[in-house]
């Protein structure tokens, strides 16, 4: 596990990166209330899928803007799949803080990409049961 943190305009977003074989789990969390509200999956071919959960009645978490940005930036450096789980909430967020969030994520993406380049792992040997034709 490795962590990267970037702070701008008085708040921080942290990327916690964990690896299982060639797959990644990235927690993109920060602000005043860290939580989980969005999950984006991304494969090494750049295909993304995002699920946003309800944040309060008639509203959904908006962190997909950040998770998808991160996913697009790291996709070409993935060895396999990544799950990006996110929750970033800044109490009484200012316009300046909202506008720097993507810049924070771009900085985090650059750090994660550099780490991925320097920390490739061999593919594990996977053995599957023989197919049974009926």
The domain spanning residue 75 has which CATH number? Answer: 3.30.230
List the structure tokens of 122: 């061999």
For residue 7, tell me if it sits in a domain.
yes
Domain that holds residue 90: 2-118
Instruction: State the pTM of this model.
Output: 0.91
Q: What angle do CA 107, 35, 22 make, to 5 degrees?
A: 60
Torsion (CA) 23, 75, 69, 18 in degrees, nearest 10: 20
For residue 88, tell me if it sits in a domain.
yes
List the structure tokens of 90: 């800044």
For residue 74, tell me if it sits in a domain.
yes
For residue 130, tell me if it sits in a domain.
no
Q: pLDDT tens string for the chain (134 positions)?
A: 999 999 999 999 999 999 999 999 999 999 999 899 999 999 999 999 999 999 999 999 999 999 999 999 999 999 999 999 999 999 999 999 999 999 999 999 999 999 999 999 998 898 889 888 76
Domain count, the chain: 1
For residue 124, tell me if it sits in a domain.
no
For residue 123, tell me if it sits in a domain.
no
For residue 98, tell me if it sits in a domain.
yes
For residue 132, tell me if it sits in a domain.
no
Q: Say if residues 35 and 13 touch (Cβ distance below 8 Å).
A: no
């Amino acid at each position: 596990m490795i962590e990267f943190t970037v702070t701008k305009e008085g708040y921080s977003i942290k990327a916690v990166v964990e690896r299982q074989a060639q797959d990644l789990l990235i927690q993109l969390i920060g602000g005043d209330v860290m939580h989980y509200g969005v999950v984006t999956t991304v494969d090494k071919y750049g295909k993304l899928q995002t699920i946003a959960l309800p944040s309060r009645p008639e509203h959904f978490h908006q962190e997909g803007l950040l998770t998808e940005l991160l996913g697009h930036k790291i996709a070409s450096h993935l060895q396999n799949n990544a799950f990006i789980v996110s929750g970033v909430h800044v109490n009484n967020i200012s316009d300046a803080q909202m506008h720097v969030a993507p810049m924070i994520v771009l900085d985090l993406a650059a750090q994660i990409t550099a780490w991925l380049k320097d920390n490739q792992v061999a593919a594990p040997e996977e053995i599957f049961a023989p197919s049974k034709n009926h």
